[in-house]
Amino acid sequence: MSKNVFNLVGDIYKVIETKRPDSSVDAEAEIEKFGEAIKALMHKEFISRSYDSRKLRLSNIGRDDRFLWHHYNGTKKSDKLQPHTLLKFLYGHMIEELLLFLTRMSGHTVTHEQHPCEIQGIRGSMDCKIDGVTTDIKSCSTYAFKKFKDGTLAYDDPFGYVAQIKAYAASEGETKYGWLAMDKQNGHLTYLMYDEEDTQAPVHEKLSYDINDRALYVQDMVQLPKPPVHCYEPLDDGKSGNKKLATGCSYCSYKGACYPETRVFLYSTGPKFLTEVVNEPKVPEIPLHEVS
């Protein structure tokens, strides 16, 4: 059977189960390459501490307009990334290197790693191509993984993953792209492919826009003197009479700029961000900047 992205997950599982790489693979060379990739990651994190200072990148042009405006214009963030969140990002990068290693160990072809891409003057670099398909590697929560597993990512994409990879593929003149995703909580893998030329696919309407138009639009939008409309309006907090931030806002670092009246109440299930308090919750309140 020829190697392609549709049998990738099964082939990786086989390598994990048997502890035997594909017969075509030089295992020693791949182990060495994996070690060097982790070494480079640690060097970047703790020695060079390099940071991409570009305000617009292909990796973020799919984000909500108001978020991009704040990001581009240097709006002060209402909270900072806590150490445990930074640690989560770090082992997420390590998982992504592990998945590339396992892809190669299973006999699949990995090319174009960190290949430079550009759309209408906005630049970025793709993760890779797997078996010729532009692919992004994602480690995610069980909740987020479900969207890759059932193919519904295009309907609920708060971080703009579709626009990001659509841009990478478009820069190569391609209309097919996909994600190799891992549920980092339990190890499940899946590969989701979208094909813009498949007009019968349920997600086609979500994919059919021109990414060049989006790139041109965001470059003009971030130059506006005032931010665009709110991404989400506050929601009713049950029957309490209170109003709370929508989920997309609660995870945004600019929620304090958009809703300066926000108060944070610490429930056993996590913080709740209230924009209007009619009935005071009987739980501790903490300053917005202390939210972890």
Pull the structure tokens for residue 262: 């926000």
pTM, entire model: 0.93
Q: Judge contact between 105 and 25, C-beta under 8 A.
A: yes
The band of 36, judged by pLDDT with boundaries at 50, 70 and 90, is very high
Contact between residue 33 and residue 105 where contact means Cβ atoms under 8 Å apart: no
Can you tell me which residue has the tokens 């108060």? 263
- By CB neighbour count within 10 A (0-12 exposed, 13-18 middle, 19+ buried), where does 244 fall? buried
Q: How many CB atoms lie within 10 A of CB 285?
A: 13
C-beta separation of 8 from 114 below 8 A: no
**pLDDT tier at 79 (50, 70, 90 boundaries)?**
confident
- Give the bridge partners for 27, in sequence order: none
Among 237, 234, 245, 238, smallest CA distance to 79 is for 245
DSSP calls for 242-275: -EE--HHHHT-TTHHHH-TT-EEEEETTEEEEEE
Q: In 10 A of CB 25, how many CB atoms? A: 16
Contact 203, 194 (CB under 8 A): yes
Q: pLDDT tens for residues 39-63?
A: 999 999 999 887 777 899 999 999 9
Write the pLDDT tens digit of every residue in 97-142.
999 999 999 999 999 999 999 999 999 999 999 999 999 999 999 9
> To the nearest whole percent, how much of the chain has pLDDT over 70?
99
Q: What is the DSSP string of 104-115?
A: HHTT--EE-TT-
Q: Is 177 helix (H, G, I), strand (E, B) or coil?
A: strand
DSSP state of 277: -
**For helices 8-18 and 83-105, what crossing angle results, to 10°?**
90
